[in-house]
């Protein structure tokens, strides 16, 4: 898993099978990694609905599909989504680095019980599925949450 420079301002086109974006908002998710003393981390940032069912992948950091099984929850939940990587994948993120991801979300997803989740895995270190779970609400915007192992803080902002 390679280190990559800071990934800032990545625009992710919102052209997937989602409710029409007639009333949409752009969300920017900022993920700051801890200096956990390992190689670059594989991360999966995704949305689940109120029942815990997979909704959509926002970003997958890490290029080798054979390691996705270490992002166990995302890999299991999104298995049926044939386009889960379409335009939303990049290189793994080095320890101490920051990943910024932007995505267009329909208003209907906000304050509707949806949750942003992040799975993380680092080679030779333990996997951390559900490293972070953060409800997608207007009130939570700008509030940083720490992960269990690898994430210093994750926060999102609406534009």
Partner 1 sequence: MDWKRLHRWLGLIPGSILLVLGLTGALLAIDPVQQAWQAPAAADSLTVADMLEGVSRTISGVEEIRRLPSGVLVAYSFDGEQPRADRIDPASGDILGSYQPSVLPRWVKNLHRSLLLGDAGRWGAAIVAACMLLISASGLVLLLRHLGGWKQLPAQVRGSSLQRVHVLAGRMALAMLLLISVTALCMSAVTLGMVAIDSDAEPGVTSLPIGQPGMAGSQIPFLRDLAVADLRKLSFPDASDAEDTWKVVSRGGEAWIDRYSGRLLAWHDATPAQQFYDWVRMLHSGEGAWWPWALLLGLTAGSIPLFWLSGLLMWRQARRDLPRIGNNSPLAQADMLIFVASEGGSTWAFARALHEALARNGHRVHSAGLEHFQSGPQARQIFILAATYGNGQPPAHASRAIARIEEQRAGALPVTVLGFGDRQFPAFCAFAAAIEQALLRQGWSGLLPLERIHGQSAQQFMLWGEALARALGEPLTLDYRPRLPEMTTLRLTARQEYPGCDDRPSVILRFRWPRAGIRDRLLGRGLARFAAGDLVGIVPPGGAVPRHYSLASGSEDGFLEICVRRLPGGLCSTHLFGLAPGDTVQAFIRPNPGFALPDDSRPVILVGAGTGVAPLAGFIRRNDRRAPMHLYLGARDPARDFYFGPEIAHWRSEGRVASVQATFSRLPGGAHVQDALRHDAERVRDLVSRGALVRVCGSHAMARGVAAVLDGILASLRLSVQQLKIKGRYAEDVF
Q: Which residues bind partner 1 (CB under 8 A)?
A: 2-3, 37-39, 52, 63-66, 68-69, 72-73, 75-76, 79-80, 124-127, 129-130, 148-149
Is the Cβ–Cβ distance between 40 and 94 less than 8 Å?
yes
Maximum alpha-carbon separation in the chain? 44
CB of 149 to partner 1, least distance (A): 5
Cα–Cα dist 29/49, whole Å = 18
CB of 54 to partner 1, least distance (A): 11
Of 31 and 92, the one with the shorter C-beta distance to partner 1 is: 92
Of 19 and 52, the one with the shorter C-beta distance to partner 1 is: 52
Token pair listed for 90: 């990049």
Query: Mapped to the 3 state alphabet, what secondary structure does 143-154 carry?
Result: CCECCCCCEEEE
**What is each CA distance from 24 to 9, 55, 124, in whole angstroms?**
18, 16, 40
Pairing of strands 115-122, 7-12: unpaired
CB of 52 to partner 1, least distance (A): 8
Of 124 and 159, the one with the shorter C-beta distance to partner 1 is: 124
Beta-bridge partners for 105: 25
CB of 23 to partner 1, least distance (A): 32
Of 2 and 15, the one with the shorter C-beta distance to partner 1 is: 2
Of 78 and 102, the one with the shorter C-beta distance to partner 1 is: 78
CB of 27 to partner 1, least distance (A): 24
Cα–Cα dist 125/138, whole Å = 34
């Amino acid at each position: 898993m390679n280190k990559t420079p800071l990934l800032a301002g990545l625009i992710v086109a919102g052209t997937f099978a989602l409710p029409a974006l007639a009333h949409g908002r752009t969300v920017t998710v900022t993920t700051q990694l801890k200096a956990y003393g390992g190689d670059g981390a594989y991360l999966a940032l995704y949305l689940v609905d109120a029942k815990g069912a997979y909704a959509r992948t926002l970003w997958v950091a890490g290029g080798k599909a054979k390691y996705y099984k270490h992002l166990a929850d995302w890999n299991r939940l999104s298995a049926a989504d044939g386009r889960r990587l379409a335009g939303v994948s990049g290189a793994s993120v080095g320890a101490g680095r920051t990943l910024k991801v932007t995505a267009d979300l329909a208003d209907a997803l906000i304050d509707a019980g949806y949750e942003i989740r992040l799975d993380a895995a680092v080679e030779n270190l333990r996997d951390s599925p559900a490293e972070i779970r953060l409800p997608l609400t207007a009130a939570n915007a700008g509030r940083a949450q720490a992960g269990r192992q690898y994430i210093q803080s994750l926060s999102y902002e609406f534009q």
